[in-house]
Structure 1
């Protein structure tokens, strides 16, 4: 089976955007890629640990284990022989609530919703659940494209690597601000903005902000904005 490429996924997202009025409640709904899904899962697991042990933290090994199980479960792939951590049901509930409260859908949700569009689904009807799973795990190159071949790259100097990191960080921050302009409930975008080096709130402050947002039933962005207005 050919590996799913990025173009097929983008076509699916475009179809979702064209039919948003029948598939979701808001035109401003944010679609989460793999990075955002993984971050949302990590935050959900940390929140679950906070509730059970008092520590807002989670190990990388547990996140990756749960990530694999989550993909299989949401895509209705076999999970019988897969290892799963304790309190998975609670983690899944927190994850789903996090996306809902942030007005977000992950790629698997979009994939399922687009399945409703049977008449317009022909362009990507051949996307199998296992292909989407592999795509979300990082296997997104096209194996059936004759022009897609590997080209050896020269090693990057440390200076160039640092410049590339800065460029990617700046790009992520700009996109996060744009995300908030479109969807003010997007707490992941705000987390990226507040986590700028030398300007980060820190775990305790961010957790306090998050709990204040929950108590007021508002997005973290709106609570943060209200606090700034009151300060000045």
Structure 2
């Protein structure tokens, strides 16, 4: 098969992979096999980036104190978020499982280096946010690669990014884009957890397409 050409079987399996790419919050605590995280990060590094800037910076959060600080930030932010809801919606929110911080064997912070000279500014003069979008491309690439290895990924956004940035003592000019939990899923579900928990159903694609 010529390079860059994929057959129907591969395309079908890829669609299946995307469908199974779920945001995982329930993890088995077993450690991942040696070299697997490095393999996933190498694949993520192949993601597209504006001007070939490659602005993603991966921080493996392994220290007990750092993890405890992140968990504390989550608990505070989660309590504040709960206070925004009332009635049945507040009750549903309180029952949601929103992070896998206690069990996931791997925790990974993804930063955007907003002062990188890589790429010489190409493509971001009018849209500087393209640096952060490039990091999101790397995250999505990592997510699919992890799923292909049977690894789940959960994106924890309920935390204070400035607080987490300070905890991790990263260089100036780095902005937190994502805090990820990785590990083998405790459960496997094709449908999103928030849908199963009654928070909101996933809407159809037709509601997301406009024609002009």
**TM-score, normalised by the number of residues in structure 2:** 0.28
Using CA pairs under 8 Å that are at least 6 residues apart, name the structure with larger relative contact order, 1 or 2: 2
Q: Which has the higher helix share?
A: 1
Whose Rg is larger? Answer: 1
